[in-house]
Amino acid sequence: MNQQTRIACHECDLLQQLKPPPPGGCARCPRCGAVLHRSKRNSLNRTLALSLAGLILFMIANAFPFLAFEMQGQITETRLFTGVTDLYHQGMWGLAALVLFTTIIVPAVQLMLMLYVLIPIKLGRTPGHLAGVFRLLQNLTPWGMMEVFMLGILVSVVKLAGMATIVPGLALWAFGLLIFVLAAAAAALDPHQVWEKVRYAP
């Protein structure tokens, strides 16, 4: 931020002028002490790098086998999309749609929107419809529930371990890393820097 911004405290609702804090610093409400804005060092570059890494991990997680089950000499491989199709064929269409949306569609759209916003900014440009796209990105983020899906996979693996030999696939490791990469990207991003681009967009 290059200029003062008028902002209301999210805790006590005090309306005040917010001065841009130094890199790594934070601005606090003078009345209640709540953090109004925390300036993150090299935020956009770190978020862009993590988003690109996340895109690669996402493609690996969907392209390679997720788990392999060996039972009585027969090997069965599963992929990330297999769980969705199995739920659908069992008649649980609603649950299949929910798993598809929260573990595949949302992360994919989240990564695409993040790159759509950050790459032009990195190149010194302002992407079209930036305000709407970034607002959609922020609204979608809570719907990503990859960690819940992973927890369910781990519980299933523990239960099946006594019945079959389970071999983790490359996609499982990529999916696990993707969870941490997306969390790191969300933590690294300073939304104020993006909204400043909206504010001064032509």
Same domain, 28 and 45: no
Same domain, 61 and 20: no
pLDDT per position as a tens digit, 8-17? 787 787 787 7
| Confidence band of 24 (pLDDT split at 50, 70, 90) | low
Same domain, 50 and 115: yes
Supply the range of the domain harboring residue 65: 41-199
High-pLDDT (> 70) share of the chain, % = 91
pLDDT for 4 equals 59
pLDDT for 179 equals 93
pLDDT reading at 66 higher than 60: yes
Residue 33: left if φ>0, alpha if ψ -120 to 50, beta else—which one?
A: left
| Confidence band of 201 (pLDDT split at 50, 70, 90) | low
Same domain, 49 and 119: yes
| Confidence band of 116 (pLDDT split at 50, 70, 90) | very high
More confident residue, 112 or 92: 112
Same domain, 4 and 83: no
Q: What does pLDDT average to over the chain?
A: 84
pLDDT for 195 equals 78
22 secondary structure, DSSP code: P
Tally of domains within the chain = 2
Residues ≥6 apart with Cβ < 8 Å to 141 = 110, 186
Same domain, 34 and 116: no
Same domain, 47 and 3: no
More confident residue, 157 or 106: 106
Closest by alpha carbon to 199, among 6, 28, 29? Answer: 6
Same domain, 68 and 33: no
Q: Residue 17: helix, strand or coil by DSSP?
A: strand
Nearest 10 degrees: Cα torsion 44, 1, 192, 32: 130
Same domain, 108 and 163: yes
Residues ≥6 apart with Cβ < 8 Å to 93 = 87
pLDDT for 202 equals 53
Same domain, 69 and 166: yes
Same domain, 32 and 127: no
Q: HEC string of 173-198?
A: HHHHHHHHHHHHHHHHCCHHHHHHHH
pLDDT per position as a tens digit, 137-147? 989 888 888 88
pLDDT for 20 equals 67
Supply the pTM of this predicted model. 0.79
Same domain, 53 and 30: no
